[in-house]
Amino acid sequence: MKINLPKTSQLLDNKFIFGVATAAFQIEGGADSRLPCIWDDFCSQPGRIKDGSDGLVACDHIHRWQDDLELIESLHVDAYRFSVAWGRVINADGSINQQGMDFYSQLLDALQAKGIKAFVTLYHWDLPSYLQQQGGWLNRNIVDKFRDYADKVSQAFGDRVYSYATLNEPFCSAYLGYEAGIHAPGVQDRQSGRQVAHHLLLAHGAAMQVLQKNCPTALNGIVVNVSPCYAASASEADKRAAQMADSYHNQWYIQPLLEGSYPDLLQQLPEHERPVIEEGDMALIAQPLDYLGINYYTRTVFEATSQGWFRDVKPTTAPLTEMGWEVFPQGLTEILLSLHQRYALPPVYITENGAAMPDELLQGQVDDPRRVAYFEQHLLAVHAAIEQGVRIGGYFAWSLMDNFEWAEGYLKRFGIVYVDYPTQQRTMKTSGLALQQLFQSKKNKALNPIS
Ligand code: IFM
């Protein structure tokens, strides 16, 4: 199966970056060589993870990274996006864990030798447990801890990193972890969620200053997840609900980053639900960004509640992925355009996009035509946004391989490479082959621009 893009698409330009993405806790395993984190603790609480699993072994990437890197190279990607496990590189007393640092150092060297750009995320949700015991993201001191972590990592990695993201999806850490309570650490409290969001944004700002000082030539920024919010009906109440949801879930993170202020919705929260914001905080958050990473999977539809708030309506009829998420590629174009119209956006990278599908390994093959279609539709959506003026520098498929899908455990497969967990054998899916062909044809076009 092929992924077809218009021949003249800017996605096929030499400068456009194609890549695949992963995150430390989801693939590494090797829990005995790092400090425990909040996700280890969460997994050990009965009922938190659908299949009762954990990240102790995951894809055993820690021992198989060289083979995995061959796989990445075989895809003809320009870049590989991965995250650093904080508790693998920094000890509880703040000193460097050299063995852990060496692991990423070797990976960076190997990527460099293969000409693959490293996109490094500093925080993809795996806060060390000892920091959680000190209050975690609710304790404002976390900002200093994160700054120090960013400093040590960026000094150790030097200029081998093409791009840093301070945080991956602060919405998930704050909202899913502290308001909905379905992610670690499993708290359900609105004020905590808003406070954690504020501390995450502050930590981002503090780390950005360090990154710009230590790595002035790297592309430094942050990755947010966005889900465009649609009204369930044409009623004024539902339209307003969708606007509020957009403010609460999307703009709550983007507006402080780009404009140094929270959406007006903040003023509508009762005082006891608002975050504590100190003088100078908003300026620290709004550090200039070299790029904004956007993760997109689906849209969300909202209706009004009788309390004047919003509630999402589960999709039923449209094509759904295994996550129950609607396949809605035009939402990606629409959210990119609306952000472009609303803000002075830095260059955007689509840092995650992909789908969980009901994959089966049959006679050594995994045929996933619906995922191929998903990628094609979303790449076309990116193309459409570029055509309408949004500056987009790259696109990363989520994910390189099946992995630990947080509260869903190993039940949901997002990989373009299938992982047979009992044997740890990797099998390229049809979608992996389709992306491989696309990525290769882009490289070939760059080499032979006339063809
Ligand atoms: O697996 C996650 C990833 O860790 C963050 N973004 C969304 C993906 C799919 O749920």
| Ligand 1 lined by 281 (C-beta under 6 Å) | no
| Domains of the chain from N-terminus onward | 10-447 (3.20.20.80)
User: Cα of 336 to ligand 1 centre, how many Å?
Assistant: 19
| Ligand 1 lined by 176 (C-beta under 6 Å) | no
Query: How many CA atoms are closer than 13 Å to the CA of 140, on its beta-carbon side?
Result: 5
CB neighbourhood size of 192 (10 A): 20
Q: Which of 295, 298, 351, 403 to mutate to test the pocket of ligand 1 (most atoms within 8 A of CB)?
A: 295
| Ligand 1 lined by 24 (C-beta under 6 Å) | no
Angle formed at CA 425 by CA 424 and CA 431, multiple of 5 degrees: 120
pLDDT at residue number 270: 97
Preceding amide of 399 cis, omega within 30: yes
CB neighbourhood size of 104 (10 A): 24
Give 167's strand partners: 123
Q: Are strands 392-398 and 17-21 parallel, antiparallel or unpaired?
A: parallel
Q: What is the separation of C-alpha 4 from the centre of its chain, rounded to a whole number of angstroms? A: 25
| Ligand 1 lined by 23 (C-beta under 6 Å) | yes
Residue of 28, 169, 326, 405 with catalytic role: 169
Q: Which atom of ligand 1 is nearest to the CA of 405?
A: 1
Q: What is the DSSP secondary structure assignment for residue 152, as one 8-state letter?
A: H
pLDDT at residue number 317: 80
pLDDT at residue number 451: 54
User: Cα of 405 to ligand 1 centre, how many Å?
Assistant: 7
User: Cα of 239 to ligand 1 centre, how many Å?
Assistant: 28
User: Cα of 23 to ligand 1 centre, how many Å?
Assistant: 9
User: Cα of 354 to ligand 1 centre, how many Å?
Assistant: 9
Q: Which atom of ligand 1 is nearest to the CA of 125?
A: 4
Q: What is the pLDDT of residues 128-187, one digit of tens each?
A: 999 999 999 999 999 999 999 999 999 999 999 999 999 999 999 999 999 999 999 999
User: Cα of 389 to ligand 1 centre, how many Å?
Assistant: 27
Nearest of 424, 440, 450 to residue 64 by alpha carbon: 424
Concerning whether 405 is annotated as a catalytic residue, the answer is: no
- Per-residue b/e over 378-414, b at no fewer than 16 CB within 10 Å? bbbbbbbbbeeebebbbbbbbbbbbbbbbbbbbebbb
Angle formed at CA 115 by CA 297 and CA 398, multiple of 5 degrees: 10
Nearest of 12, 214, 21, 222 to residue 117 by alpha carbon: 21
Concerning whether 169 is annotated as a catalytic residue, the answer is: yes
Q: How far apart are CA 384 and CA 95, in angstroms?
A: 47
H helix intervals, 177-319:
177-178, 190-214, 236-246, 252-259, 265-268, 281-285
* Mean pLDDT, contiguous 10-residue spans, the chain (451 residues): 96 98 99 98 98 98 98 98 99 98 98 98 99 98 98 97 98 98 98 98 99 98 98 98 98 98 97 98 98 98 97 91 98 98 98 98 98 98 98 98 99 99 98 98 83 54
**CA torsion angle 39 40 41 42 (round to 10):** 50
Q: Which atom of ligand 1 is nearest to the CA of 26?
A: 4
Dihedral of alpha carbons 298, 249, 295, 261, sign: positive
Q: Which atom of ligand 1 is nearest to the CA of 323?
A: 10
Q: Which atom of ligand 1 is nearest to the CA of 352?
A: 6
Please give the C-alpha separations between residue 277 and each of 60, 114, 144, 193, 261, in angstroms, as whole numbers: 41, 45, 16, 14, 11
Contacts (Cβ under 8 Å, ≥6 apart) of 113: none
Q: What is the pLDDT of residues 96-106, one digit of tens each?
A: 999 999 999 99
Preceding amide of 256 cis, omega within 30: no
Residue of 28, 326, 352, 376 with catalytic role: 352
CA-nearest residue for atom 2, ligand 1, is: 405
